[in-house]
Amino acid sequence: MARVTFREERCKGCELCIAVCPENIIILADHINAMGFHPATVVEQEKCKGCAMCARMCPDLVIEVEREVAGCE
Ligand code: SF4
Ligand code: SF4
């Protein structure tokens, strides 16, 4: 199980994270953030594999990926 979160206020809508997500679950939101960009967000969170490709690609450290570690409760 993995969870991906976006610090929307820092996103400039460059779409790099969208291009690399193997599950195609990242989109640009309809609303506009404080910087005037459509921020990236995740849809179908349950499909996230926790690969963190999106977080590695983001130049603005917008994305945080949390993975459940086997054996931990
Ligand atoms: S962690 Fe991987 S699967 Fe999840 S949103 Fe990011 S790129 Fe997509
Ligand atoms: S790579 Fe980062 S800045 Fe670019 S759209 Fe994705 S979250 Fe926003």
pLDDT tens by residue, 13-34: 999 999 999 999 999 999 999 9
Q: Is the beta carbon of 9 within 6 A of some atom in ligand 2?
A: no
pLDDT of 73 reads 55
Q: Is the beta carbon of 16 within 6 A of some atom in ligand 2?
A: yes
Smallest CA-to-CA distance from 2 within 56, 42, 46 is with 46
Could you tell me if residue 24 is inside a domain? yes
Q: Going by CA atoms, what residue is nearest to atom 7 of ligand 1?
A: 21
Q: HSE-up of 3 (CA within 13 Å, CB side)? A: 4
pTM here is 0.92
Tell me which residue range forms the domain holding 11. 2-67
Which ligand 1 atom sits closest to the C-alpha of 24? 8
Structural domain count of the chain: 1
Could you tell me if residue 41 is inside a domain? yes
For residue 51, is pLDDT > 70?
yes
Per the structure block, which two tokens stand in for 52? Answer: 């963190």
Could you tell me if residue 40 is inside a domain? yes
Could you tell me if residue 42 is inside a domain? yes
pLDDT of 69 reads 81
